[in-house]
Amino acid sequence: MRAPLLAVALLFLCFGIFAQEPNHHCGTTEALEWLYRQDPSARQRVQALLDAAQMTDKTASINQYARTAAVSYTIPVVFHVVHLGGNENISDAQVKDAVNILNRDYSKQNADTMNTIAVFKPIAAKTDIHFALATKDPQGNCTNGITRHYDAVTNWGSPNQSNYKFQWPANKYLNIYVVKALDPGVAGYSFYPGAVPLGMDGIVILHNYVGSIGTASSFGSRSLTHEVGHWLNLAHVWGSNNNPGQACGDDGVSDTPVTKGNSWCNLSAASCSAGVIENVQNYMEYSFCSTMFTQGQATRMQAALNNSNGLRNNIWTNANLIATGVINPLSNCAPKAEYVITNSITCTGQALSFLDASYNGSITSWQWTSPAAQQPVISQNGQLTFTNSGQVSVKLKVSNSFGSDSITKNTIYVMANGVNSATTNVTESFESVQFPDSRWFASLPQYGSGYAKTNLAAATGSSCVYINNFGDNPSEVVNMFTPAYLITNTVNLNLQFKYAYAPQFATNSDRLRVLYSTNCGQNWVVLFNKSGSVLAAGNAPFANGAFVPQASQWTTNTLPLNLSAGTEVYFRFEYTVDAVNGAGNNFYLDDINVGNGGVAVAENRLDPSQVVISPNPATSLVNVTFLSPLTESCTVQIMDVTGRIVMAPVALTTEEIAIDTRLLNRGVYFVNVKYREQKIIKKVVIE
The CATH number covering residue 48 comes to: 3.40.390.10
pLDDT < 70: residue spans in the chain: 1-24, 53-70, 419-425, 537-541, 597-607, 609-610, 620, 627-633, 641-643, 652-655, 662-663, 676-678
Residue 280: inside a domain, yes or no? no
Q: Are residues 442 and 544 in the same domain?
A: yes
Give the single-character DSSP code of 330.
Answer: -
Nearest to 636 by CA among 626, 628, 627: 626
H-state helical runs in 485-611: 532-536
Among candidate residues 415, 446, 477, the one where a domain is terminated = 415
Domain, as residue range, for 374: 339-415
For the chain, the domain total comes to: 4
Give the single-character DSSP code of 47.
Answer: H
Q: Are residues 357 and 453 in the same domain?
A: no
Is the distance from CB of 485 to CB of 568 less than 8 angstroms? Answer: yes
Sheet holding 621-626, edge to edge: 6-8, 656-660, 621-626, 611-614
Q: Taking the CB of residue 191, how many other CB atoms lie within 10 A of it? A: 24
d(CA 336, CA 406): 7
What pLDDT does residue 384 have? 93
DSSP three-state, residue 242: coil
Task: Identify any residues that bridge with 587 across adjacent strands, giving them in sequence order.
Answer: 467, 501
End-to-end Cα distance, the chain: 32
Helix, strand, coil percent values for the chain (each to nearest 5)? 15, 30, 50
Between CA 162 and CA 167, with CA 165 as vertex, the angle to 5 degrees is: 130
Residue 400: inside a domain, yes or no? yes
Q: Are residues 111 and 149 in the same domain?
A: yes
Pairing relationship of beta strands 383-385 and 351-356 according to DSSP bridges: antiparallel
CATH at residue 344: 2.60.40.10
Backbone angles phi, psi at 43, to 5 degrees: -60, -45
Neighbouring residues of 300: CB distance < 8 A, sequence distance ≥ 6: 53, 56, 57, 232, 233, 234, 252, 253
Residue 334: inside a domain, yes or no? no
Residue 4: inside a domain, yes or no? no
Record the pTM: 0.72
CATH at residue 610: 2.60.40.3080
The tally of CA atoms less than 13 A away on the side-chain side of residue 329 is 12
CATH at residue 496: 2.60.120.200
d(CA 194, CA 31): 14
Give the single-character DSSP code of 665.
Answer: P
The tally of CA atoms less than 13 A away on the side-chain side of residue 648 is 14
What pLDDT does residue 629 have? 58
Give the single-character DSSP code of 11.
Answer: H
d(CA 70, CA 60): 15
What pLDDT does residue 514 have? 95
Residue 287: inside a domain, yes or no? no
Rg of the chain on CA atoms, in Å: 29
- Assess whether 227 carries a catalytic annotation: yes
Catalytic residue among 21, 30, 88, 227: 227
Complete DSSP assignment for 83-101: ESSSTTS--HHHHHHHHHH
Q: Are residues 214 and 363 in the same domain?
A: no
d(CA 556, CA 226): 57
Q: Which amino acid is at 375?
A: Q
Q: Is the bond preceding 615 in cis, omega lying within 30 degrees of 0?
A: yes
Q: Are residues 225 and 86 in the same domain?
A: yes
Q: Are residues 46 and 191 in the same domain?
A: yes
Q: Taking the CB of residue 307, how many other CB atoms lie within 10 A of it? A: 18
Q: Are residues 358 and 497 in the same domain?
A: no
H-state helical runs in 368-484: none
d(CA 79, CA 133): 8
d(CA 587, CA 318): 58
d(CA 157, CA 31): 10
DSSP three-state, residue 543: coil
Residue 277: inside a domain, yes or no? no
d(CA 618, CA 641): 16
Backbone angles phi, psi at 455, to 5 degrees: -115, 20
Residue 5: inside a domain, yes or no? no
How remote is the C-alpha of 178 from its chain's centroid?
A: 10
d(CA 278, CA 238): 10
Q: Are residues 86 and 125 in the same domain?
A: yes
Q: Are residues 358 and 437 in the same domain?
A: no
Neighbouring residues of 98: CB distance < 8 A, sequence distance ≥ 6: 79, 210, 211, 216, 221, 224
Give the single-character DSSP code of 489.
Answer: -
Q: Taking the CB of residue 243, how many other CB atoms lie within 10 A of it? A: 13
Q: Are residues 132 and 190 in the same domain?
A: yes
Q: Are residues 575 and 618 in the same domain?
A: no
Q: Are residues 169 and 315 in the same domain?
A: yes
Among candidate residues 595, 625, 644, the one where a domain is terminated = 595
SS3 of 143-196: the string is CCCEEEEECHHHECCCCCHHHHCCCCCCCCCEEEEEECECCCCEEEEECCCCCC
Among candidate residues 389, 415, 441, the one where a domain is terminated = 415
